[in-house]
Structures are given as structure tokens and as C-alpha cells.
Structure 1
Amino acid sequence: MWQEFREGDWPPLTELLRRLPVHGCVWALLLFCFLPFVIVLLVSYPLARSARRQARLRFPPHAHRRIVDPQVIRVQKARAWTALAMSLLILVVYGTAADFEEVQEQYAFRLAVTPWLLLFTAPLVITALFRMVPVTARADMRARLRPAMRLALRYFGAFTAVPLLFAVMVLFGQSMEDHWFTPLVTFPLLALVIWAFFFVLFASGTVVRTVFGTSEVHAALPALLTGVLVWELAAVNLIMGGMPPGPPLIQICALIGGPASVSAVAWWEIDRLRTRYGVTLRGRPVP
């Protein structure tokens, strides 16, 4: 079942409930004790299932990575888990309750700011890459860039629609709270906001992994963008949250170690593209 939730299409709610090995009496007890949670589940699961299906259709998770190097993927996962473990260790040893709350705020802030940083960073990196490749390859790269631009516009349209729809729902509810038909409009708007939120959430996984399918433009472009974006995020975190907790040496290592390790893995990925697949920054963009 876990593999189906991870890769396949989610089953309908009725089928999912039938699969769970829970007796009817237990369901009655759960319904009695956790009625609000059950109502949220009954409403949100179909919306999440529909949004996930549409997100996978609009942003196919396996359609944009032209070169899949298992060794690179393993190293990227190992680096990510190591960074997470080190961050938790620093928080446990040197952090305070305020630091734990700040980490949660920074995580939510990074989720909100990362797509916008990527939107402004990608044109600069792509322009620099265009200047590096031969003139004869630029026309082909320009043609490959158009689908990535459409994908980015589609994502940012959905990303922007979530707060706009929420604002419309709140304003309508406040201005029309005395009318009998207000709930008939507010609840469908709320369902639309939840659906759009799930759509952006599920689409973000593909967007982050494929960087809007920019590997179609040049196989090394996702690694280049990642290497630049991680330093921008480090600067944003430093400005918004200050230095990490701990002694000065630990603070410097925590501040620089994360983006430096990401950049090292990205540069290693570019080197493997050159040595194993013949993809160079100044040469042909794709194998």
C-alpha cells in the first residue's frame, strides 16, 4: 500500500477504509472520540487525491530528468540525511525552545520563498550558460527552454492562486456574513483553496527535483541552479534568523557546511556528466 501511495494513483477513500484491518466497533469508537478529525479526513482525502492526480498529470515526476545517475541520487540522499542529522544534533545540544520554534518558522518561510528565488535565479543562470555554449547550440537550447518556461508559469500561477483564493474567501465571508447564502459560497471556496494547496504541494516535489524540467535545456542546468540557489537560501536564512545556535566555530560550520556540501555534490554531478556522458558546459547540452 505504501508503494501505491508513493508512486501510483491513490485509491478511493472507501477502498482505502476497506483495506485497513480495523473492526467495525473500533471504527465506531474512533468516530465517537475523533469526530472532527474524521470529518477533516473525509473532506480532505478526496480533494488531496484529485489534486495529486492533476499535479502528476501537469508536472510528470519522471518525464524531465534526461540523465538518471543512480550514484548521484544515492549521494544526494546521503548528504540530505546527514545534513538533517547534524542540524538536529546542533539543536539538541545547543538549541533552546525558541530555536526549535524558529526552525519551524524558517522551514515554512523557505517553502514559501524558494520558488520565487528560483524564478529570479533561473534566468540569470540560464543566460550565463547560454553565453558559455557554442553559438550553434543556442537555437536548440532556446527551443528546449520554452516548455520549461510554460511549466514554471503554470506552477507560479497555481502557487499565487492559493493566497488569492483564500483572500477572496475571507473577504467574501466578512462582507456577506449576514446573508443566508454566504455558507453556500464560502464552503466551495474553502474546498477550492484546499484543493489548490494540495495541488501546489504535490507539484512542488517534481518542481524541486527537476527544477522546472530545465534538464531538457541542458543536462547540467539543474545542478548549476541548485548550487546557486542553496547559497541564496543560506543568505536569506542568515538575514531572517541570524546565526545558528552554538559556539562560533559550530555556527560557522553550520552556516557554511550545508550550502558548501550541496555545491560540492552539484559540481561532482557536473563532473560525472562530463566524464561519463560527454556533457560539458561549453559543449553539447544533452547527450
Structure 2
Amino acid sequence: MDNLTLKNNILLVEGLKVTPQSSFPVFILLLIVYVFIIISNTALVILISTEKSMHDPMHFLFCNLPVNDILGTTVILPRLLQDILTDESERYITYVDCVVQAYFVHIFVAASHYVLMLSLTIRLSRCRYKIENPFCDNASLFKLSCEEGVAVNNVFGLTYTVVLFTFSILSVLITYVKIATVCIKSKSKALNSKAMKTCSSHIAVYLIMLVSGSTFIFLHRFPLYTESRKLASIMFHIVPPGLNPLVYGLQTKEIRQKFVRFWCRKKGN
């Protein structure tokens, strides 16, 4: 089987390890989450695109975010849902499809970085055929190699990850220090309340994304925590996309008012 899969560029995706009894409930849960993410983010894009009053830089950012969320979850969840109902020994994917999925998994994070990372990975020869993850990503791809050259990928990946997370944390910290300074100087209770409400929701989503993202990246280097890494990787791709429409959509006054107005008009018809 190993020689056949390597010769034909066929890989075996490890997927989630769920018991036969729990596979269907897990499938239903993830399907509901996926449908919610697609509907809520698509509705946000349509609302912003069709309302001329929202055609400004701020709402363009709000429109770009759900597009990325739709892309990120669609690359992951349909394949994951299929694998849950498929026997572990039959979860095959071609090497080319795996590379394409790995690229799109990361494209909304930092496209140029992952083009380089995938280029470093593709150059390596392969002696294994099993993707030790619920989906294909760069770390899973370079684990297919037995070459010493894989150390280059590890060093580059970890260094970039540390720099990226450090820059992200510092940027958020500086932003919130400035917001806190304005709130302290301001005597408007309404302004301070709005800032606290928006910022607390944003911090919650950011922390979930930061913790789950850093966890599954670093746990790729520790095989003993495979299941924890899988859970963190899935959370990273479904929790923020599910919460973003609520945090950035319904908590934005203009979007909330337009949505309520649109909903009432539909019910009236």
C-alpha cells in the first residue's frame, strides 16, 4: 500500500479520530456550524455590497473579512465532513490536491510567506504518504519527507510564526492602549460603553484565534499531542469565522440597523 500510494502520488488523510457512535453527531454539529458561517458571512457581504451608504473604507474592511472567512472554512469543512463519514483507511487525497488545499488554508493569513514555504516543501522528496492532520497544511506536507533539508522549513516556519505573532500582539496592544487613553480622557459614558462593548468582543475572538492558531502550529512539533493539535486547528478555522459576523457585523450600528430594517421589510411582505 505504501509503495502504491507513493508511486501514484496518493496520500492518506488521518482526519479526526471519532468513534462510529459519535461520527454522525460530530458530522451534524460541524455541518450546522458550516451552514451558519456561510449564511451569516454571505448575508453580511450582500448587505454591505447592496447598500450604497456603506461603500466606504471601514465597511469595505468588514466586507473583506467575511469573504476570507468563507474561503477559509470552505477549503476545510466540506472535505472534513466527508472524511468523518469515511473509513479511516479510505480517506485518500492526491498530492496536488493536498498542496492546493494547503495553499488556500493559509492564503488569507499571509500569501507570500506560504508561497515560499510551499516552494521549500515541494522541493523535498517524499518517503511517507500519511497526512497527520484533519486537512492539508504546510507542516503536514513537509512531514512527508525524510530529508535533513526539512530543518530549513522548521526553522523558517517557527521564526516567521514568532515574528508574526509578536507583531500581531504588539499591534493589538498599542491599539487598545490608544483606545483606553481616549476613553480615560473622554467624559462620555455612551462612548466609553460602546468602546468597551466592541473591544471586549474583539478581544475574545482575537484570543481564541491567537491561542488556537499558536497551539496547532507549535504542537506540530510534538507528536504526543496530536489530538489536541487537531482540535486547535479546527477551532482556528471555524470559531472566528462563526463569531466575526456577530462581533463586526451586528455590533456595528449601521449594519445592525440595515439588517433589522431589511428583516422587518421581508416579514412585512
Please tell me the TM-score bracket, short chain as reference. Answer: 0.3 to 0.5
TM-score (norm 1): 0.32
TM-score (norm 2): 0.33
Larger Rg: 1
